[in-house]
């Protein structure tokens, strides 16, 4: 499920391949008024969640910075770090590996 609550795009449930297209499209319709994306109610994720976030971030225009993502599941943060796209998805910037 996805909704706009004031200026926050709130997503709940799963962000996996079966839901990806519907979430992307619904988010694109609601995105114009959003200033943040809240994923704290998201349970299951897979790599398609990264594609959805990237699509939303591209569409937001962002003025040079992505919409901040609040409450991202650990699995999503891990995938974003693996793909080195955290900073493009509104997640924490990618950290350099410690040596």
Q: Residue 21: its pLDDT value, please?
A: 96
Give the integer Cα–Cα distance in Å for 82 and 21: 22
- Using CA atoms, how far residue 59 sits from 13, 43, 96, 97, in Å, is 22, 24, 28, 30
Task: Show the DSSP H helices in the chain as ranges.
Answer: 17-30, 48-60, 74-82
Q: Residue 45: its pLDDT value, please?
A: 96
Query: pLDDT exceeding 90 applies to what percent of the chain?
Result: 78
Please give the order of strands across the beta sheet that includes 36-45: 2-5, 8-15, 36-45, 69-70
Confidence class of residue 98 from pLDDT cuts 50, 70 and 90?
very low
Query: In terms of pLDDT, which residue wins out, 60 or 49?
Result: 49
Each residue of 24-36: pLDDT tens digit? 999 999 998 899 9
Task: Tell me what the pLDDT averaged over the chain comes to.
Answer: 89
Each residue of 57-94: pLDDT tens digit? 999 876 678 899 999 999 999 999 999 999 888 887 54
Q: How many residues does the chain have?
A: 99
Assess contact for 26 and 58: CB atoms under 8 A.
no
Give the integer Cα–Cα distance in Å for 84 and 68: 16
Report, as an integer, the average pLDDT of 14-20: 97
């Amino acid at each position: 499920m996805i909704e706009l609550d004031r200026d926050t795009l709130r997503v709940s449930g799963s962000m996996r391949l079966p839901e990806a297209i519907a979430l992307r499209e619904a988010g694109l319709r609601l995105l114009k008024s959003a200033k943040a994306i809240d994923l704290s109610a998201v349970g299951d994720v897979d790599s398609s969640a990264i594609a959805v976030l990237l699509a939303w971030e591209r569409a937001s225009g962002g003025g040079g910075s992505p919409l901040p993502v609040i409450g991202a599941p650990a699995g999503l943060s891990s995938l974003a770090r693996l793909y080195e796209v955290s900073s493009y998805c509104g997640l924490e910037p990618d950290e350099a590996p410690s040596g």
